[in-house]
């Protein structure tokens, strides 16, 4: 019981320290961005309020398309927190194609309010995708053949989401999209990213069961709160918090949900500690880490290790105070 109250207390304390309420904006004053997405030739055309047009041609396969906003979705210049209204029309796509993006599912016309920052982190997909909703309301978007049924993935997502929602005590993850994409890497290997109202997990098609990538799902889902719902700026110097603390709570999630055993959690903690204290760059400042991270794996890994160990230390202090 103390462990649960401590974890919740830490998350709440972090929220108090880092939460920044977004500025309220009058919907009527928001800039209107009109998009037309055409199937053939595949292109995205943006019409700005002054009539100027911008066009992009993202990549498309015969049976589907999938791309991140920076790979082919025109977004005008402006501050990330600037609010805009979007009007999107999807034209000429086959009737049996599924459409899924950060702002809706299977809608050939879309109207919504968002920010330029959220547009820049959006994800767009369509074609022969399967879409399944979990019991907690998460939306799995995937395609192709896996070695496990989609139901195993949605069940795993629910177990993770229940624990993380308990930690944060908020509205949960209903409606959050989870894009599960196959790669040709070795079994069990994954890469992921949090996007606007979505997460992406690229997983080896040879993976035997989704639980083999449970740490990936847990890490990327936790990013829904840290840093997106905390409204933290995209500052690489804060990776110790946005990535490292998230790494720690991803592992906490797997333990509390019973997905990982305590022995595996302990082994992970010991591995992180060995990597940190043996790192040749562990005394790098945040600025130096940012300078070297793209060319040096040790520098890239450093904030993950720092934040993980700091979060574990804070959690230990919290449990100690519970006994005072």
* Residues 6 or more apart in contact with residue 7 via CB below 8 angstroms: 167, 249, 252, 256, 315
Domain count, the chain: 3
* 282 in the same domain as 209: no
- Burial class of residue 119 in the structure, from the number of CB atoms within 10 Å of its CB (0-12 exposed, 13-18 middle, 19+ buried): buried
User: What confidence tens digit (pLDDT) does each residue in 172-217 have?
Assistant: 999 999 999 999 988 878 999 999 999 999 999 999 999 999 999 9
Task: Cite the DSSP H helix spans in the chain.
Answer: 2-18, 116-120, 150-168, 214-222, 239, 246-256, 262-277, 286-292, 297-322
Question: Whole-angstrom Cα distance, residue 245 to residue 275?
Answer: 16
* 174 in the same domain as 93: no
* 225 in the same domain as 135: yes
- Residue ending a domain, among 173, 203, 229, is 229
2 in a structural domain = no
97 in a structural domain = yes
Per-residue model confidence (pLDDT) at position 230: 84
Residues 282, 276: contact at Cβ < 8 Å? yes
Per-residue model confidence (pLDDT) at position 14: 43
* 260 in the same domain as 185: no
* 86 in the same domain as 112: yes
Point out which residues pair with 202 in neighbouring strands. 181, 191
8 in a structural domain = no
- 229 or 19, higher pLDDT: 229
* 275 in the same domain as 216: no
User: What confidence tens digit (pLDDT) does each residue in 261-309 have?
Assistant: 999 999 999 999 999 999 999 999 999 999 999 999 999 999 999 999 9
In this structure, the number of other CB atoms found within 10 A of the CB of residue 303 comes to 25
What pTM did the predictor assign?
Answer: 0.86
Measured between alpha carbons, how far is residue 141 from residues 55, 179, 222 in Å? 27, 5, 18
How many CA atoms does the CB half-sphere of 116 hold within 13 Å?
12
Per-residue model confidence (pLDDT) at position 183: 95
- Residue ending a domain, among 204, 229, 254, is 229
* 176 in the same domain as 203: yes
- 179 or 7, higher pLDDT: 179
* 120 in the same domain as 41: yes
Measured between alpha carbons, how far is residue 321 from residues 9, 13, 277, 315 in Å? 12, 14, 27, 10
Q: In percent, how much of the chain has pLDDT > 70?
A: 89
Residues 192, 170: contact at Cβ < 8 Å? no
Measured between alpha carbons, how far is residue 116 from residues 63, 76, 296 in Å? 30, 8, 31
* 208 in the same domain as 143: yes
Measured between alpha carbons, how far is residue 255 from residues 4, 153, 213 in Å? 12, 18, 14
Question: Whole-angstrom Cα distance, residue 229 to residue 184?
Answer: 33
Is residue 159 over pLDDT 90? Answer: yes
- Residue ending a domain, among 92, 127, 162, is 127
- Work out the end-to-end distance of the chain between its first and last CA atoms, rounded to an integer number of angstroms: 15
* 153 in the same domain as 120: no
Residues 247, 308: contact at Cβ < 8 Å? yes
Mean pLDDT computed over 307-323: 76
Q: What is the CATH number of the domain that holds 135?
A: 3.30.2010
Is residue 143 over pLDDT 50? Answer: yes
Residue 195, domain extent: 131-229
Per-residue model confidence (pLDDT) at position 34: 99
21 in a structural domain = no
* 77 in the same domain as 119: yes
Mean pLDDT of all residues belonging to the chain:
90
- 30 or 176, higher pLDDT: 176
13 in a structural domain = no
């Amino acid at each position: 019981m103390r462990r649960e109250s401590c974890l919740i207390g830490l998350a709440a304390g972090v929220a108090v320290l880092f939460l920044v309420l977004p500025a309220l904006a009058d919907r009527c004053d928001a800039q209107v961005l009109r998009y037309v997405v055409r199937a053939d030739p595949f292109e995205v055309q943006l019409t700005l309020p002054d009539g100027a047009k911008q066009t992009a041609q993202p990549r498309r396969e015969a049976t589907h398309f999938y791309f991140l906003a920076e790979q082919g979705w025109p977004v005008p210049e402006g501050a990330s927190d600037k609010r805009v209204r979007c009007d999107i029309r999807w034209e000429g796509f086959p009737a049996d194609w599924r459409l899924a993006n950060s702002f809706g599912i299977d809608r050939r016309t879309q109207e919504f309010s968002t920010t330029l920052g959220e547009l820049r982190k959006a994800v767009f997909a369509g074609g022969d995708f399967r879409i399944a909703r979990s019991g907690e309301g998460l939306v799995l978007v995937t395609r192709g053949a896996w070695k496990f049924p989609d139901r195993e993935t949605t069940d795993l997502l629910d177990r993770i989401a229940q624990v993380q929602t308990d930690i944060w005590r908020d509205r949960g993850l209903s409606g959050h999209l989870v894009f599960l994409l196959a790669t040709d890497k070795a079994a069990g290997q994954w890469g992921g990213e949090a996007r606007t109202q979505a997460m992406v997990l690229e997983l080896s098609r040879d993976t035997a069961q989704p639980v083999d990538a449970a740490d990936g799902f847990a890490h990327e889902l936790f990013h829904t709160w840290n840093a997106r719902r905390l409204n933290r700026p995209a500052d690489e110097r804060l990776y110790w918090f946005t990535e490292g603390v998230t790494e720690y709570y991803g592992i906490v999630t797997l333990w509390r949900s019973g997905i990982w055993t305590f022995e595996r959690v302990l082994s992970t903690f010991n591995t992180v500690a060995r990597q940190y204290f043996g790192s040749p760059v562990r005394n790098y400042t945040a600025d130096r880490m940012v300078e070297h991270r793209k060319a040096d794996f040790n520098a890239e890994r450093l904030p993950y290790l720092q934040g993980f160990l700091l979060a574990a230390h804070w959690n230990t202090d919290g449990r100690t105070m519970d006994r005072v």
